């Protein structure tokens, strides 16, 4: 299915250590452009650690060390001279808990573009309208843009955080269990949104929800104790996995 697709990320022989503890072992995976790649597996098996490596969030963790080859658009993102600011602009992140800044809805969205030097009021207004429409929030909030984002519901806050991520025009969106703190209605809205966004963006999502992975992803990687046991088209992983442990996990026999 993906033979014609361009690779956004290519990861080869990746090891990650916290001090002397090896958290990720010999990971090999390609992440294709404009696909949704789901990372599944039991808690504590390295999914979020891997996700945070893709935009170097783990640089903030003391004692974290990465070996191997991680390339984004063909370039080694851990090279000495690689620009982290550009990487984080191109590879955005949405967290488990919605985390809007304690500012207005408007200021949440223009925060990133302003950091990257956009000052023109008309341009900023256009970015706010475009991104809120992209996440399906414009109709709900266009008359209260200058009120606090903290007054929004949890689901609205998470969509705002996605809009904030889109405001700097990333290529990739990393999502760490973006619906685990939300109710079923808000969850289905985020899932529908992910399906729309993948026409423009590459999405990598960590999820504990098997049904969610099956519903929204094109490819799935199964993590177990710091290793990727299997990565393949989602339909194949869920209907005919190659690894017995994948099958046991998906069918609920452990994890």
Whether 88 is in a domain gets the answer yes
The pLDDT value given to residue 255: 57
Q: What angle do CA 53, 251, 98 make, to 5 degrees?
A: 40
Residue 255 lies inside a defined structural domain of this protein: no
Alpha carbon distance 196, 198 (integer Å): 6
User: How many domains does the chain divide into?
Assistant: 1
CATH number for the domain that contains residue 155: 3.40.50.300
Determine the number of helices (DSSP H) and then strands (DSSP E) in the chain: 10, 10
pLDDT at residue number 49? 96
Q: Is 75 exposed, middle or buried (0-12, 13-18, 19+ CB in 10 A)?
A: exposed
Helices (H), the chain: 47-53, 84-90, 105-115, 121-134, 138-141, 154-166, 184-197, 210-216, 234-239, 244-250
pLDDT of residue 252: 85
Give the largest Cα separation in the chain, rounded.
56
Count of C-beta atoms within a 10 Å radius of residue 92: 23
Q: How many CA atoms, within 13 angstroms, populate the side-chain half-sphere of residue 110? A: 20
Full pLDDT tens readout for the chain, 255 residues: 545 889 999 999 999 999 999 999 999 999 999 999 999 999 999 999 999 999 999 998 999 999 999 999 999 999 999 999 999 999 999 999 999 999 999 999 999 999 999 999 999 999 999 999 999 999 999 999 999 999 999 999 999 999 999 999 999 999 999 999 999 999 999 999 999 999 999 999 999 999 999 999 999 999 999 999 999 999 999 999 999 999 999 988 765
Question: What is the residue range of 210's domain?
Answer: 2-250
CB 241 within 8 A of CB 230: yes
Report the alpha-carbon distance of residue 191 to residue 213 in Å, rounded: 10
Angle at alpha carbon of residue 74, lines to 71 and 75, rounded to 5°? 65
pLDDT of residue 30: 98
Residue 225 lies in a domain: yes
């Amino acid at each position: 299915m993906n033979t014609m697709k361009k690779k956004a990320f290519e990861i080869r022989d990746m090891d990650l250590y916290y001090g002397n503890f090896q958290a990720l072992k010999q990971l090999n995976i390609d992440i294709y452009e404009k696909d949704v790649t789901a990372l599944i597996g039991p808690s504590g098996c390295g999914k979020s650690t891997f996700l945070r490596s893709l935009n170097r969030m783990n640089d903030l963790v003391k004692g974290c060390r990465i070996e191997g080859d991680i390339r984004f658009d063909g370039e080694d993102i851990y090279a000495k001279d690689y620009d982290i600011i550009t990487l984080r602009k191109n590879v955005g992140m949405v967290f488990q808990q919605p985390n809007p800044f304690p500012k207005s809805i408007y200021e949440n969205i223009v925060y990133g573009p302003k950091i990257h030097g956009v000052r023109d009021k008309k341009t900023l207004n256009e970015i706010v309208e475009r991104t809120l429409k992209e996440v399906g929030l414009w109709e709900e909030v266009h008359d209260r843009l200058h009120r606090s984002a903290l007054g929004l519901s949890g689901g609205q806050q998470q969509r705002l955080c996605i809009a904030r991520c889109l405001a700097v025009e990333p290529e990739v969106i990393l999502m760490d269990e973006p619906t685990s703190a939300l109710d079923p209605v808000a969850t289905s809205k985020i899932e529908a949104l992910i399906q729309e966004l993948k026409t423009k963006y590459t999405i990598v999502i960590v999820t504990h929800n098997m049904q969610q992975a099956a519903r929204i992803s094109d490819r799935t990687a199964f993590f177990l104790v710091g290793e990727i046991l299997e990565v393949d088209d989602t339909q194949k992983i869920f209907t005919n996995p190659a690894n017995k442990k994948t099958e046991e996990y998906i069918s609920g026999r452990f994890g």
